[in-house]
Amino acid sequence: MQRNVRLGYLGFEVRDLSAWEAFAVDVLGLDIGDRGDDWLALRCDDWAQRFLVTQGPSDDVAVLGWEVDDEAALDAALARLRAAGVETTRGSDEEARLRRVERLFKVRDPAGNPCELFFGADRAAAPFHSRHVRSSFVTGAQGLGHVVVSASDPDQSRRFYCDLLGFRLSDRIVCDVYGHPVDITFLHGGPRHHTVAIGGRQRKRIHHFLLEVTGMDDVGLAYDRALRARVRIVLTLGRHPNDRMFSFYAKTPSGFEFEYGWGARTVDDATWMPTTYDHISEWGHHPVAVAGATTTEKTNERTSGTGGAVRGDR
Ligand code: FE2
Q: What is the pLDDT of residue 292?
A: 63
Q: Is the pLDDT assigned to residue 81 strictly greater than 60?
A: yes
Q: What is the pLDDT of residue 293?
A: 63
Q: What is the pLDDT of residue 291?
A: 73
C-alpha 183 – ligand 1 centre gap (Å): 14
C-alpha 308 – ligand 1 centre gap (Å): 35
Q: What does the mean pLDDT of the chain come to?
A: 93
Q: Is the pLDDT assigned to residue 31 strictly greater than 60?
A: yes
C-alpha 87 – ligand 1 centre gap (Å): 29
Give the residue, 303 or 66, on which the prediction is more confident. Answer: 66
For residues 18-47, average pLDDT: 98
C-alpha 234 – ligand 1 centre gap (Å): 13
- Tally Cβ neighbours within 10 Å of residue 244: 13
The CATH classification number of 5-281 equals 3.10.180.10
What is the dihedral sign for C-alpha 258, 231, 53, 216?
A: negative
Q: Is the pLDDT assigned to residue 310 strictly greater than 50?
A: no
Ion ligand 1 contact residues with beta carbon within 5 A:
210, 259
What percent of the chain has pLDDT above 90? 90
Q: What residue segments make up the domains of the chain, in order of their start?
A: 5-281
C-alpha 247 – ligand 1 centre gap (Å): 9
For residues 219-247, average pLDDT: 98
Question: What are the tens digits of pLDDT across the range 270-299?
Answer: 999 999 999 999 999 999 977 766 544 443
57: confidence class by pLDDT, cuts 50, 70, 90: very high
For residues 176-181, average pLDDT: 92
C-alpha 249 – ligand 1 centre gap (Å): 8
DSSP string, the chain: -----EEEEEEEEES-HHHHHHHIIIII--EEEEEETTEEEEESSSBS-SEEEEE-SS-EEEEEEEE-SSHHHHHHHHHHHHHTT---EEPPHHHHHHHTEEEEEEEE-TT--EEEEEEEEPBPSSPP--SS-SS-B--GGG-S-EEEE--SSHHHHHHIIIIIT--EEEEEEEEEETTEEEEEEEEESSSBS-SEEE-S--SSSEEEEEEEES-HHHHHHHHHHHHHTT--EEEEEEE-SSS--EEEEEE-TTSSEEEEEE---B--TTT---EEES-S-SEE--BHHHHHHHHHHHHHHHHH---SPPTT--
C-alpha 67 – ligand 1 centre gap (Å): 19
C-alpha 90 – ligand 1 centre gap (Å): 30
Q: What is the pLDDT of residue 289?
A: 77
What percent of the chain has pLDDT above 70? 92
Question: What are the tens digits of pLDDT across the range 99-147?
Answer: 999 999 999 999 999 999 999 999 999 999 999 999 999 999 999 999 9
Q: Is the pLDDT assigned to residue 96 strictly greater than 70?
A: yes
C-alpha 51 – ligand 1 centre gap (Å): 18
